[in-house]
Amino acid sequence: MIRLLIADDHAIVSSGLLQLFSLSSDVCVVALATNGGQVIDSLRTTPCDLVLLDMSMPGISGIDLIGRIRVRAPALPILVLSMHNEALVVRRALKAGANGYMTKDCDPEALLLAVRKVAAGGRYLDPGLAEQMVFDTDSDQFKHPHEQLSNRELCIFRLFVSGMGVNQIADELAISNKTVSTHKARLMQKMGFQSNADMLRYGVDHNLGS
């Protein structure tokens, strides 16, 4: 039996996943988490065989959360299930320690296959993403200016583009307003933005809103 921890802050997604896995004879959901803190707490108290992880949740999330899981449980399989399908995000998630990556528009049977494969020690990449990355011949170069940003800078950039302000982002990521402002200043300098309008325009043009 595969003991599964589902980490997703969207109730409708978690509900659908619970229904899907309830129909499987070899997968059992042992914990649900809606933010990064709950994921870490669950790992302390509830043994599991795989973490099914959304990339965008309140508090610690995404690349940062994958890294923290790896520190606490180096061998625990992590399968990302995300709405983000950009090669940049996928590459960074895998580099941070994820064992697999799928998008939320995947077929339920494909998700079950991925869960079983990753829980057994394998790796799994959504076929559409795999094809995109294989033909991304310039993957080692910065194809777009935002690819030079750090993981945290890119996360904060996305949140600004999605319409959040400094205070909201600070609450979302559980960091100080000053830290958010510092990251914002650095990313604007790296990208050569002269104003918030420049930043938002670029983000919209490159579909970076979370």
Domain annotation for the chain: domains and CATH numbers: 2-134 (3.40.50.2300), 145-205 (1.10.10.10)
pLDDT tens string, the chain, 210 residues long: the values are 999 999 999 999 999 999 999 999 999 999 999 998 999 999 999 999 999 999 888 878 888 899 989 989 999 999 999 988 888 889 889 989 999 999 999 999 999 999 999 999 999 998 888 887 776 655 445 567 888 888 888 888 988 988 889 999 888 888 899 999 999 999 998 888 989 899 999 988 888 875
* Full-model pTM: 0.75
**Whether the Cβ atoms of residue 59 and residue 33 lie closer than 8 Å to each other:** no
d(CA 165, CA 40): 27
**Contact indicator for 93, 103 with CB cutoff of 8 Å:** no
Closest to 88 in 3D by CA, of 141, 163, 127: 141
